[in-house]
Structures are given as structure tokens and as C-alpha cells.
């Protein structure tokens, strides 16, 4: 259990990505009905669309999006990394921060650690992440070393700015947002330890496993994920950033992680890849879940829900045959119904993990 700004959150929990202030195709009532406790929104994307001054003018992200649950905001380090990897002209990372050209703009923008914290506080976020220099585990050690040094320096600046903002805005202790540091270091135990030790010394409310969590073969970098839990004391919550594959969520939970976020379950839903449990309860054996591809022609007359005992709005009201039809005619309703089901699957997965056998 974690309590932030007077709101309790049961752990483990899966946090869907609502990058631009929306979990695509569903609204806050749908999120609530799926048992979602928090949504991860993105500082970096929101500062471009609709822009930070717009969000502030509309009383922050909760009011703007109509979501009354908790809002986490990712710092932007990971997004900048992904965009620059695709296109190096997009921007660059230097010791001051991340400089880039926002989409369709000729004006260069610099995201510094201080700016990153000010934006997140002004958005009304409940859990802030420090700006970090993100890497892929397979990148060379020399690059990882620079990224770790930057991440540590930026974390210091973030903490200082955070304290300054809390004081200036007179935010009460009970209402204050949490601030998490992100442990970088790629595939080097030495660098991960160096980063974790420095962050622990600065002092945060919790920590995140940073960097791309999968190797080139698409497998979870299990050794590193386990190691970071070993070096972050158990009293601190640990967030597995970007981990949303059901098997990886279960694995990371068994290694001591509490919080997970990813765009994958909702993106898969929109593409017709639905998740379902193969067992009515528990997570026994290796094959406790499977994909169901709605496009498959054999679903044309299947008159039953995706999962018989699923309590989600979709399974309670609609057959697989109807979903197959909606998908084929490319109706938006498919996206909503599929997203609701996959999200409920993820919250059910967390409920199953909370059962005593998995404590």
C-alpha cells in the first residue's frame, strides 16, 4: 500500500500510459470501471500539445482530463531518447538537459532538470520523475557512464528545485507529490550501483528502473532488474518503467517491483491483440495467459465473451463475434471495448499477484 496526497493505492499496480492526457479511446469512467488507480502522463509530450501554459490555465491535468485518480508524470528522458534514436536531428542531450525542436516548430526548446520539475508540479501531478539520461542496455559502457553521471547531476538539481517549489507554493506535507529518482547504468552492475547509491544519498520517495528494459532479443533484462531491487532497500517502492508485458509484470513483481507502466496493453488492444487468462484464478504454470487475435476468421460466429469470468464492461455485454465485426468495419467502438478488456486484464493480473501465494 502506498499513500500519495491522501489517496491510497494498492500494490502491485499497473499504470496505463495516457501520454497526452488521455488513455486513448477511453475516458475516466472507463478507467475507473477497470480498477485503474493511476495514469502515467508525459511531461515532454504535454509541453508540446496542448502546451504547459494551456494546462495551467485549465487548472492542471486532473481538471483538464477529468481523471480524479492519481496522475504520475514521466520526466521525458525516455521519450527524448526514443525520438532521437529514430531521428538524430530531432535534438540532443548535453549536460544542461535535453534540447530539441518541438514538432512543427523552428524554435529550439531546452528541457532542464529544473524546468522538468516545475512543469510536473504545475501540471498538478501526484508523482514526479526526475529527468534522466536514458540508454539501451546494449550500448557501450563509456556511454552508460556518461548517462549515469548526468542522471545523478540532474537528480540533484531536480531535488533542489522540487524542495524550492514545495516551499514557494506552500504545498502541505500531506498533499505534496512524491518524487522518484531513476536508476540508470545499462547492463553494468557497477554503474547501476553507483547510480543507486548516489540517488539514495540525495533521497527520494521511491525509485524507478530506468533504461530500455528489454535486450535486443526482446527479453526482459532480468539480472539487472533483480539487481536494482537488491540495491534499493525494500522500504522504498520501486517502479519498473516501461514494463507492461503480462509475463514481465509477473516476473518483475516476483523480483520485488510494485509499480508498472506501459503503453503496450492498450496499444495491443487497439490493434486487435487481446489478452486472456487461461485459468479462472491463480497464475500457475507457464501458460496462465494467452493472446487472442480478434481478426481471426474463426471468431465470426463466436457467441461468448473474450473471457467467460471477466467482469469488464466488454465481456459483460458483448460477444467475440460482435467485436470481430466492429474490428472488421473499423469502428471506433472496437478500440474502446478492446482497451477496456485489456486494461481490466492488467488490473486483474495485479489482483492475482496480490493473493497470498504471490506475497
Q: Which stretch binds Zn ion (CB under 5 A): 51-59, 243-251, 320-328, 333-341?
A: 333-341
Question: Considering the rule CB under 5 A, would residue 183 count as an interface residue with Zn ion?
Answer: no
Closer CB to Zn ion, 37 or 307, in the complex? 307
What is the nearest approach in angstroms of Zn ion to the Cβ of residue 344? 5
Of 74, 133, 258, 268, which residue is the catalytic one?
74
Q: Which stretch binds Zn ion (CB under 5 A): 3-11, 81-89, 141-149, 302-310?
A: 302-310
d(CA 357, CA 197): 32
Q: Which stretch binds Zn ion (CB under 5 A): 60-68, 91-99, 127-135, 313-321?
A: 313-321
Classify residue 112 by its DSSP letter: -
Question: Considering the rule CB under 5 A, would residue 310 count as an interface residue with Zn ion?
Answer: yes
Ramachandran area for residue 26 (φ above 0: left; ψ -120 to 50: alpha; else beta): beta
CA–CA distance from 165 to each of 54, 129, 243, 271, 343 (Å)?
Answer: 20, 15, 30, 41, 34
Per the annotation, the verdict on 261 as an active-site residue is yes
Closer CB to Zn ion, 182 or 283, in the complex? 283
Of 17, 132, 258, 261, which residue is the catalytic one?
261
State the distance between the two ends of the chain, measured CA to CA, in whole angstroms. 13
Question: Considering the rule CB under 5 A, would residue 312 count as an interface residue with Zn ion?
Answer: yes
Give, in degrees to the nearest 5, the angle at Cα 67 between 209 and 35.
70
Sole binder of Zn ion in the list 61, 250, 341, 346 (CB under 5 A): 341
Question: Considering the rule CB under 5 A, would residue 26 count as an interface residue with Zn ion?
Answer: no
Per the annotation, the verdict on 296 as an active-site residue is no
d(CA 131, CA 127): 13
d(CA 218, CA 214): 5
Query: Residue 334: helix, strand or coil by DSSP?
Result: helix
Question: Considering the rule CB under 5 A, would residue 22 count as an interface residue with Zn ion?
Answer: no
Q: Which residues bind Zn ion (CB under 5 A)?
A: 310, 312, 314-315, 341
Q: Which residues are catalytic?
A: 74, 261
Amino acid at each position: 500500500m502506498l499513500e500519495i496526497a491522501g489517496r491510497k493505492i494498492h500494490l502491485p499496480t499497473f499504470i496505463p500510459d495516457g501520454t497526452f492526457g488521455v488513455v486513448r479511446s477511453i475516458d475516466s469512467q472507463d478507467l475507473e470501471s477497470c480498477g485503474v488507480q493511476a495514469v502515467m502522463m508525459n511531461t515532454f509530450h504535454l509541453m508540446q500539445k496542448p502546451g504547459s501554459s494551456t494546462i495551467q490555465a485549465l487548472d492542471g491535468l486532473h481538471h483538464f482530463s477529468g481523471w480524479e485518480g492519481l496522475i504520475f508524470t514521466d520526466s521525458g528522458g525516455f521519450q527524448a531518447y526514443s525520438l532521437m534514436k529514430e531521428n538524430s536531428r530531432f535534438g540532443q542531450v548535453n549536460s544542461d538537459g535535453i534540447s530539441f525542436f518541438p514538432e512543427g516548430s523552428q524554435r529550439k526548446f531546452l528541457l532542464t532538470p529544473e524546468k522538468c520539475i516545475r512543469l510536473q508540479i504545475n501540471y498538478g501531478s501526484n508523482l514526479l520523475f526526475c529527468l534522466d539520461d536514458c540508454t539501451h542496455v546494449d550500448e557501450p559502457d563509456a556511454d552508460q557512464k556518461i548517462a549515469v553521471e548526468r542522471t545523478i547531476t540532474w537528480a540533484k538539481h531536480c531535488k533542489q528545485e522540487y524542495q524550492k517549489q514545495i516551499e514557494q507554493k506552500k504545498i502541505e506535507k500531506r498533499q505534496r507529490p512524491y518524487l522518484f529518482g531513476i536508476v540508470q547504468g545499462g547492463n553494468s552492475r557497477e554503474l547501476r550501483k553507483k547510480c543507486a547509491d548516489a540517488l539514495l544519498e540525495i533521497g527520494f520517495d521511491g525509485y524507478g528502473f530506468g533504461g530500455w528494459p528489454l535486450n535486443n532479443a526482446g527479453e526482459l533484462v532480468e539480472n539487472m532488474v533483480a539487481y536494482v531491487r537488491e540495491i534499493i532497500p525494500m522500504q522504498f517502492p520501486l517502479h519498473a518503467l516501461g514494463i507492461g508485458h503480462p509475463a514481465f509484470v509477473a516476473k518483475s513483481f516476483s523480483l520485488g517491483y510494485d509499480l508498472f507502466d506501459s503503453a503496450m496493453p492498450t496499444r495491443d488492444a487497439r490493434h486487435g491483440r487481446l489478452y486472456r487468462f487461461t485459468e479462472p484464478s491463480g497464475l500457475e504454470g507457464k501458460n496462465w495467459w494467452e493472446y487472442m487475435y480478434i481478426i481471426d476468421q474463426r471468431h465470426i460466429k463466436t457467441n461468448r465473451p473474450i473471457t467467460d469470468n471477466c467482469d469488464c464492461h466488454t465481456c459483460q455485454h458483448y460477444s467475440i463475434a460482435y467485436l470481430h465485426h466492429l474490428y472488421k468495419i473499423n469502428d471506433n467502438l472496437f478500440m474502446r471495448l478492446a482497451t477496456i478488456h485489456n486494461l481490466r486484464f492488467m488490473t486483474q493480473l495485479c489482483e492475482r499477484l496480490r493473493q497470498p501465494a504471490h506475497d
